[in-house]
Structure 1
């Protein structure tokens, strides 16, 4: 049995279980007694702290805040993050570090980040920043110190190491491709969850269209959930409502991520709209599933392996050299043309 199991049985957060088992304040006596009783009944024995010798093993922690934005509790099953984690683990092995994983539920942010900062014994932290705001990241950085690298996000004004995607470049590539194909009526399918990455993609895409003297009409903006690979009733309703006014759909659609693109393709197909004959579709991320969907998805390849390598190397450099100046690194993208887009 793990702490997560006790937390579920007791109906409390993992941090509350940690408080109860360690005897720290911060929870009620009733909660403490309930947690301890469940632990005793199930024969739970807390893991002992590492001794000085045992602690000599070098390790990094991959820290994730879940259930906010597109980062779900089972984030490791989501294609983009699954691939990213694979490359992080691979780079850690090459560098002689083990990789630990720690998850914090955003609903218990204050409690659980306090527990993590007190109990974390790894040498450095790679923080998945996809769904975090600048305020969140600054708060976390102040608690965890300088041996921290934020991955998959970037806020230029924060004194924190960041390794992110060159989102503007990728979206510009997508927009330029559609314009070169001759598309003039172009639509945009956005995430209904605000993320820094998506905002940057929107800016880059619109910049490309502006260079070709094209603007996206207000009625050609759609929005959907960014975490579903299946068709979505909400998008279907938006498109039906649009078509009911006897207007033609845009001849091309840019989607803020591959999840949205794949979901849109399935939704359009169910409505009898052919891809790419009626509508060209472009995604962003180049997840594995983009090659499984039919037709294969034109998309922007994110260099996840390069991002992982840079993040691991940067946090190790922060550990071993004690860097005083922070860095902002954006990894360029690559356009991948497949069968979901044409003239």
Structure 2
């Protein structure tokens, strides 16, 4: 019995069968259950099945996600940033001699889900995607899961654990510096309506860069939108209209807390009749693949996703092999990638 046979019997692709049999995200729970039932009925044995200690292969690392509404949802792996991050994590695990399994829990029941996961004992170590965890939640999770844990994409200095994070403040600072050097002074900020540690740090870095140069962004030039929509957003149109109606001057540049927001902003501005970058420059953050597909190509802050993934895996594996008791907090710097969505302003003065 081959994977192709199971695919034919269940009416799905071979890749979907492979994902289900190996406990990876990418298929719905209903499809996964159907595939597993058929494979069991036919006596097919996969290399690895998720969910129990007896099925877990030796040398298994778990990628654990606490999903919530807003940014990191159940289908987080479909988002470009996390999809790329996962690819590099799985590749690094394989290179270090480990298999990677995936687990998703609810951010609304962190403690109970963490206890349930810890009692499962089906992997040697855990990489926790900490993107949407606050300090209290992170501390609870780490206290429950034990010593062999690394938190990725977040960091809290007062939590005794290992973290690997983006230098969000530096990246946003670089964006602010870039727009200032292009001559922009009327600068707006587009924030996510779902707040996480990364976005707060980016806001701090961007404001700091402008404040150093004598510029302040008032609340009236701060707009708030959904962070995971690539199409134009009516809410941004409404906010811009209200701002202009109340005597505001259209910003000549907008910094967005992530590339999703930036791409959505470009499309919204286009529908409103504004040309990017001739009238409004737009800068994003993350450098996802879609940044080069949008027109104009997006100026953005590049996040070293491969480096982040490798550091998280290496830190965990070294901890497992050497039984290290010392925790490390690693911050990976960013770099600005200048493309066509930002340009010098033609009509501003100091």
Match of 1:184 in 2: 185
Question: Cα offset for 1:69?
Answer: 3.7
Question: Cα offset for 1:279?
Answer: 0.6
Match of 1:244 in 2: 245
Question: Cα offset for 1:68?
Answer: 3.7
Alignment of 1:38-187 (within 5 A): 50=53, 57-187=58-188
Question: Cα offset for 1:120?
Answer: 3.4
Paired residue secondary structure (1:284): strand
Hey, what's the Cα distance between the residues in 2 that align with 1:299 and 1:325? 35
Deviations 1:291-342 (A, max 9, x none): 1000000000000000000000000011111111111101000110000000
Q: Taking structure 1 as reference, are residues 276 and 95 closer, same or farther at Cα in structure 2, changes over 3 Å only? A: same
Deviations 1:147-195 (A, max 9, x none): 0000000111110100000001100100000111111111111111111
> Which 10-residue stretch deviates more, 185-194 or 242-251?
242-251
Match of 1:226 in 2: 227
Does residue 266 (structure 1) correspond to residue 261 (structure 2)? The answer is no
Hey, what's the Cα distance between the residues in 2 that align with 1:8 and 1:263? 30
Question: Cα offset for 1:255?
Answer: 0.5
Paired residue secondary structure (2:172): helix
Deviations 1:86-126 (A, max 9, x none): 00011111111100000012234343222211113111000
Whether contact under 8 Å (2:64, 2:102) holds in the other structure is yes
Q: Taking structure 1 as reference, are residues 105 and 214 closer, same or farther at Cα in structure 2, changes over 3 Å only? A: same
Whether contact under 8 Å (2:50, 2:56) holds in the other structure is no
Whether contact under 8 Å (1:298, 1:341) holds in the other structure is yes
Question: Cα offset for 1:56?
Answer: 6.6
Deviations 1:232-284 (A, max 9, x none): 11111101112223432111010011011111111111111111111100000
Match of 2:326 in 1: 325
Whether contact under 8 Å (1:69, 1:195) holds in the other structure is no
Hey, what's the Cα distance between the residues in 1 that align with 2:110 and 2:197? 20
Match of 2:347 in 1: none
Structure 1's unaligned 5+ residue stretches are 10-38
Match of 2:204 in 1: 203
Whether contact under 8 Å (1:68, 1:131) holds in the other structure is no
TM-score (ref. length: structure 1):
0.84
* Equivalent pairs, count: 309
Match of 2:340 in 1: 339
Paired residue secondary structure (2:285): coil
Question: Cα offset for 1:206?
Answer: 1.0
Paired residue secondary structure (2:194): coil
Question: Cα offset for 1:8?
Answer: 7.7
Structure 2's unaligned 5+ residue stretches are 1-19, 31-36, 44-48, 345-350
Hey, what's the Cα distance between the residues in 2 that align with 1:72 and 1:242? 31
Match of 1:30 in 2: none
Paired residue secondary structure (2:286): coil
Whether contact under 8 Å (1:231, 1:267) holds in the other structure is yes
Question: Cα offset for 1:217?
Answer: 2.5
Segments of 4+ moved more than 4 angstroms: 1-4, 45-51
Paired residue secondary structure (2:232): coil
Q: Taking structure 1 as reference, are residues 8 and 286 closer, same or farther at Cα in structure 2, changes over 3 Å only? A: closer
Match of 1:291 in 2: 292
